[in-house]
Amino acid sequence: MDPQSLLNQLEPLRTPPPIGWWPPAPGWWLVAFLLLAVLLLLARWMWSRWRAGTYRRDASKQLNQWSRQPEAVTLEQINRLLKATALNAWPSDVVASLSEASWVEFLEASTGAKRRTDFAILRELYKTPSMPAPNSLIDSARDWIHFHRVKPLDQSSIPTQDAAGGSRGA
């Protein structure tokens, strides 16, 4: 027999069936588990950030309602909104006792270095609480609500009231 006739008698090669994609290899299970864990942690972090900003959204919503009729907004309303917002962000022993100059200093200090705010008019609050709030105060309040930075405050840097009613920094 010649070699060519032997080769002609061979059957064609059979290819194995394609490898299925299921079940995946153990490495892919590990990758899927790690990806799922990362996604769950990310979702939890985003949910906590969203919930932590609820007080800002509520205050912003109230301020936007008032902004539709800015002539009806008083200094007292703006001050109450800012105080309620601050009480949601900082411990009450830090914020609740602040008033007049120490309150204004606190607002300006917590706004952030790059934001320009004008809360000086709030010092007039105790003389004329029903005075209409100027647009600059409404804008400053809006900026403060959106951009204030909640940091653990050093108790020595918080302005306090002295016995005469003025503020003093420690």
In a domain, 66, yes or no: yes
Domain annotation covers residue 25: no
Mean pLDDT of 74-90: 93
- Residue 154 pLDDT exceeds 60: no
pTM above 0.85, yes or no: no
Residue showing tokens 């959204």: 57
- pLDDT for the residue numbered 19: 86
Boundaries of domain holding 158:
54-168
> 36 in a domain, yes or no?
no
Mean per-residue pLDDT of the chain: 85
**What is the SS3 assignment for the chain?**
CCHHHHHHHCCCCCCCCCCCCCCCCHHHHHHHHHHHHHHHHHHHHHHHHHHHCHHHHHHHHHHHHHHCCHHHCEHHHHHHHHHHHHHHHCCHHHHCCCCHHHHHHHHHHHHCCCCCCCCHHHHHHHCCCCCECCHHHHHHHHHHHHHCCCCCCCHHHCCEECCCCCEECC
pLDDT of residue 114: 66
- Is 48 within the bounds of a domain? no
- List Cβ neighbours of 80 (8 Å cut-off, separation of 6 or more): none
Number of compact structural domains in the chain: 1
* Between residues 119 and 88, the one the model is more confident about: 88
